[in-house]
Amino acid sequence: MNKRMLGSLEVSALGLGCMGMSPQYYGARDENESLQTLHYALDHGVTFWDTANVYGRGHNEELLAQVLKERREEVVLATKFGLVQKDGGVGVNGTPNYVKSSCEASLKRLGVDHIDLYYLHRVDQDTPIEETVGAMADLVKEGKIRHIGLSEVSGETLSKAFNVHSITAVQSEYSLWSRDIEESTFPACRELGVGIVPYSPLGRGFLTGEIRKFEDFAADDYRRGLPRFQGENFQVNLDIVSELERMAQDKGVKAAQLALAWVLAQGEDIVPIPGTSRRANLKTNIEAANIILSPHELNELNTLASKIKGTRYSEQSMRMTNL
């Protein structure tokens, strides 16, 4: 696996999103297969792992700890804080005290003495970003974290944060069908030398072609509640995936690989973190890192991406993105 740079942090060109290894979002999970997938990732050079304190309500970090206790030095470890249960929904807490208590809790669950890349999961609109990042900078001084990251921030917020402490990476949803960060966030990242970490680069699994009808989602799969997977939107987007599959077949690759290759082709400062809990899927993703796309193929994919229908989150959740 080749390497790429997120600011001053060297990571594998492809990361591993670990959220789906916990039974909170995509239905039941096979913990043994998840653990085997983590080892498979390291054995094949995928050393940049992404988790968060809210994934599985702490379970995800504890799961990773089982592998980290044996292979910590091989992993560039990223986790996140900031999302909290609030009034029956989800809120954000970026206060300095919460920054520090969350870090301590994650360190304990992960069984490590430092976190390589620590993200603010969402911007707390009631706490100035300068205060949140200032507290994160204190953690850097204490040696508890090595690098600071932000998630779902606008270029303006990134610039404010960068004035307090250097930011290594911005994590946001980015894929063929989620390109809103190109307008504000991309230019700011590139001006400041900040890396870009796309989550859900395969459209939450939809761009793999494995979903054919709404009923393919388990009853407790949270994608059922996302606008792109509902009603008319679902069929329009399914037709787009069919076209993606046709293009992939012409190239002799899988739809998922073509979609992932497109993300990787958007710049050397981009390190996608496709999520999976299965070795077979991870193998497919790794192979995508070797696919070269021609200018004509990139143009075709860009045209396809422009046809997507529906927002990526509910109206309430969209208000927490690109702040």
Q: What is the pLDDT of residues 53-79, one digit of tens each?
A: 999 999 999 999 999 999 999 999 999
Judge whether residue 164 has pLDDT over 90.
yes
- R_g (Cα) of the chain, nearest Å: 19
Tell me which H or E stretch contains 159: helix 155-162
In the structure, what pLDDT confidence band is assigned to residue 291 with cuts at 50, 70 and 90? very high
Domains of the chain: which residue ranges?
A: 3-205+266-291
Average pLDDT of 132-149? Answer: 98
- pLDDT digit string, tens, across residues 99-137: 999 999 999 999 999 999 999 999 999 999 999 999 999
**CB-based contact 51:117 (threshold 8 Å):** no
pLDDT in tens, 296-315: 999 999 998 888 887 876 66
CB 250 within 8 A of CB 8: no
Active-site entry in 25, 26, 40, 55: 55
Are 70 and 37 in contact, with CB atoms under 8 Å apart? no
- Dist CA 249 CA 217 (whole Å): 25
Average pLDDT estimate for 36-50: 98
CA separation, residue 298 to residues 43, 268, 272 (Å): 31, 16, 17
Residue 55 is among the residues annotated as catalytic for this protein: yes
Of 44-48, 87-91, 124-128, 279-283, least confident by mean pLDDT is 87-91
- For 234-274, the pLDDT digits (tens) are 888 889 899 999 999 999 999 999 999 999 999 999 999 99
Two tokens, residue 157: 């917020």
**Range from 10-19, 24-33, 40-49, 121-130 carrying the lowest mean pLDDT:** 24-33
213 pLDDT tier (thresholds 50, 70, 90): confident
* Per-residue confidence (pLDDT) for residue 221, from 0 to 100: 76
Indicate the average pLDDT of the chain.
Answer: 93
- Three-state SS at 195: strand
Whether the CB-CB separation of 48 and 271 falls below 8 Å is answered with: yes
Q: What are the phi and psi torsion angles at 316 (to 5°)?
A: -65, -45
Listed residue (286, 282, 314, 260) closest to 18, CA to CA: 282
Name the residue type at position 77: L
As a CATH number, domain 3-205+266-291 is: 3.20.20.100
